[in-house]
Amino acid sequence: MRTAKLIRISLILALFTALLAACALPAPPQEQPALTGDALRVENAWARPSPMSAGNGAVYLTIVNPTDQADRLVAADSPAAENVELHETVNDGGVMRMEPRPDGFPVEPKSIVELKPGGKHVMLLGLKEPLEVGQEIQVTLTFEKAGEITVTAPVKEMGEGMEMGK
Ligand SMILES: [Cu+2]
């Protein structure tokens, strides 16, 4: 009797913890990048799955610049989409809205720039096919100084509660 009650309580606790964890996770768990090495690099690239009806997608990634030189992400391209733009989601008086960033994103010396849900992102416009979890797409990023860097972005499920603000 007592044991059954305990099991029920721990089940409820486990469920509660799972829900909390889901809400706290804006992106799939990933390794924390370190400011090591001697060249600018791109880590942890991933794409969100595209909804059935929508023809757009988003790619997130982390730019790691361990060098003393400032750089800038100026463009992105992918064979998966007709058009690729650099965007940033901004909070405009409580309304989340994304804006194109035609000048790209500055990367300071010895810094890490995160493109993540609700912030900076690579916008895929006109997907050639819907993105489903398990697929991978290629994304080529052009930096002012570091040049072109091509990464593979697996399509991963978003964390719960982060549906808006891509
Ligand atoms: Cu966008």
CATH number for position 60: 2.60.40.1890
- Mind listing the pLDDT tens digit for each residue in 136-166? 999 999 999 999 999 999 999 987 444 444 4
- Mind listing the pLDDT tens digit for each residue in 60-118? 999 999 999 999 999 999 999 999 999 999 999 999 999 999 999 999 999 999 999 99
Which residue range forms the structural domain that includes residue 64? 41-154
Q: Name the residues around ion ligand 1, CB cutoff 5 A.
A: 87, 98, 123
Structural domains in the chain (count): 1
Residue 17 lies in a domain: no
CA of 27 to the centre of ligand 1 (A): 16
CA of 3 to the centre of ligand 1 (A): 51
Residue 15 lies in a domain: no
CA of 5 to the centre of ligand 1 (A): 49
Residue 79 lies in a domain: yes
CA of 9 to the centre of ligand 1 (A): 43
3-state SS, the chain, equals CHHHHHHHHHHHHHHHHHHHHHHHCCCCCCCCCCCCCCCCEEEEEEECCCCCCCCCEEEEEEEEECCCCCEEEEEEECCCEEEEEEEEEEEECCEEEEEECCCCEEECCCEEEEECCCCEEEEEEEECCCCCCCCEEEEEEEECCCEEEEEEEEECCCCCCCCCCC
